[in-house]
Amino acid sequence: MISYGKQEIEALALIEPVNTNKIRIDADTYIRRAHELRSQYFTEKLSNLYQTTVGKFLRNREIQLAKSALYSMSERELKDIGITRNEIDRAVEGRKEMEASQKKGFWTTLATRFMEAQTSRAAYVHLMSMNSRELADIGLTRSEIEAAVKGHRNYRANDNLERPSNTNDHRKAG
């Protein structure tokens, strides 16, 4: 049995205020109440732990039973329900596509960005080393290289998207 000190009893007394008309405080009553509250707390925590553990166990058991039932089916039966044999685990566990659900870590993201920057830099250097005729062959001018490498090249200034107004279509040769 754990005994309570003066500080714990005073804290408990703040939870249940004492009638000030009494001269004597019945410490045994408060100690008994503290034991009850502690027992309720630990009972609740252990119950939650048990429910969580048993719940996970039952969930895993259901998943294994469903997987074994699906693995025992023929290819034709699996096709009828719309899955293939290699999709069984994902379908039963409710996982989305593996590539979409896995998050990239910090170092993977950093390495990916570094490689993209290196590739962009190499493309920029290569395009800048070309002469004007070679750039014109691929549809670029020297001022458009940076936008093309960054992927911001939607339309260029010299793209004639509109029909010119001075076509003189109304005149006919005579």
Residue range 25-67, pLDDT digits in tens:
677 888 888 889 999 999 999 999 998 898 889 989 999 999 8
Q: Which two tokens stand for residue 76?
A: 């034709």
* Identity of residue 94: G
Question: Is 112 a domain residue?
Answer: yes
Q: Which two tokens stand for residue 73?
A: 């089916």
Contact between 70 and 88 under an 8 Å Cβ cutoff? The reply is yes
**pLDDT of res. 28:** 82
Contact between 18 and 12 under an 8 Å Cβ cutoff? The reply is no
Question: Is 28 a domain residue?
Answer: yes
Domain identity same for 3 and 57: yes
Domain identity same for 4 and 61: yes
How many domains does the chain divide into? 3
Domain identity same for 126 and 94: no
Give the domain extent around 35.
1-65
Domain identity same for 145 and 117: yes
DSSP state of 19: P
**pLDDT of res. 82:** 85
Separation CA 74–CA 88 (nearest Å): 12
**Which residues in the chain come in under a pLDDT of 50?**
98-101, 174
